[in-house]
Structure formats: structure tokens, C-alpha cells
Amino acid sequence: MTIWYLARAAGVVTMVMFTLSAVLGIVMPSIRRPATRFGLQYVHRSAAVTGLVLLATHIIAVIADSYVSISPLVLVWPFASGYRPFAMVVGVLALYSLVLASLVGASRGRLAVSARFTKYWRKLHIAASVGWLLSIGHALLAGTDRGTPWMVAITLGCLTAVATAAAYRLNATPKLTRGWRTQ
């Protein structure tokens, strides 16, 4: 039973950490003060790394838990799950997207000398947004607590935070350069 609680808690806090990272990633380009941007960048990366560690904890705990039989094979072939296969597919796609975004983010500093990589970095890093949205879908489809008032509140809070950050970013970006690019 302890593993089940660990799996649930790790999953929920993972979603919150990735939401924090997403909000900061959306808002940061509109911040002009270098010291503030540096601090926000640090928190953005820390939240993402914490989210990845908790994601690994969530996956290991779910696989180790005997309450619902989920095989490690699900990470490669999610349709093999006997437990809510579509929800597992959404979760595995979220995992792949978030890991891709993390690898791209981690390699940005090393590969920024390449003009070609710099050009495509933002397009690749958008996988984080896709992964975040898929993780929300996974929580709504697979979570055993998905209908409880506290989980609905956390999920709606995460959605609201990202939507608010996006609205702020759109309003903070000058009209001539409106979009998701930094100036």
C-alpha cells in the first residue's frame, strides 16, 4: 500500500513541477531584467529536473506496485497494459516528449555554437509543452484520484497557471513581434 501512495504522490507532484517549469518557460522571454531572468531560468531548470526525478519515481513505483499489474513492457509497448491502455499510451507519450525536451534543453548550451541547432532548438523544446499537456491528459485518464475534489482542483490549477502565463506572455510581447519568439 505504501508503494501505491508513493506512486500517486510522485505523479501529482510531477505534474505540479512540470507546470511550474512550463509557467516559467512561458513567462521568461518577456522578463527584461537579466538578474531576474537568470533566477527564473535556474528555478525553471530545477523544477524540470525535479519533475524528471519524480517522474522516474512514479514510473518505478507504478511498476513495482502489486495493486495494479503494470509491466515495464508498457514503456515500450503501452497498449500491452491491462490497466487503462489508452491512458498508458498518453502517459508514455508524455514521458517520451518530456525526456526529449529535457535532452534538448540540457544540450542547448553545448550545441548553441551551431547556428542550425539554435534555429531548431525552440521547435524541439516545444516537446515539453506537448509532454506537459499529455501528462495532464494522463492524470485525467489514469489517475485513481482523478475524480476527487482535491485532484480536480490541482489539475484545474495547473491548467489555469499555464493559461495565465500564456496570456501574460501574449500581452507582454510587443505587437510587432507577437508570437512565441523572444526579441
CA 47, CA 75: separation in Å to the nearest integer?
Answer: 23
Give the up-direction half-sphere exposure of residue 34: CA atoms within 13 A in the CB hemisphere: 0
3-class secondary structure, 33: coil
At 118-158, the pLDDT tens digits run 777 777 888 889 999 999 999 999 878 888 999 999 999 99
* Sole residue written with cell 475524480: 147
Taking the model in full, what pTM does it have?
A: 0.86
pLDDT band, very low/low/confident/very high, at 183 (cuts 50, 70, 90):
very low
Residue type, 38: F
Average pLDDT of 40-60? 94
Rounded to whole angstroms, the Cα distance separating 11 from 62 reads 10
Least trusted range by pLDDT, from 21-30, 65-74, 82-91, 173-182 = 173-182
Question: Among 18-27, 115-124, 153-162, which is the least confidently predicted range?
Answer: 115-124
Alpha carbons 63 and 58: distance in angstroms, whole number: 9
For residue 45 the three cell numbers come to 531548470
pLDDT digits (tens, 9 = 90+) for 67-110: 777 888 888 888 877 788 898 899 999 999 999 888 888 877 77
Reported as a pLDDT band with limits 50, 70 and 90, residue 112 is low
| Per-residue pLDDT at 173 exceeds 70 | no
pLDDT confidence of residue 176: 41
Q: What share of the chain is helix, strand, coil (3-state, %, to 5)?
A: 80, 0, 20
Q: Please report the beta strands in the chain, taking only residues with DSSP state E, as ranges in sequence order.
A: none
Q: What is the pLDDT of residue 85?
A: 86
Residue 66 confidence (pLDDT) above 80? no
159 touches 151 (CB < 8 A): no
Q: What is the residue-wise DSSP string for 141-169?
A: HH-TTTTSHHHHHHHHHHHHHHHHHHHHH
The grid coordinates listed for 57 are: 519515481
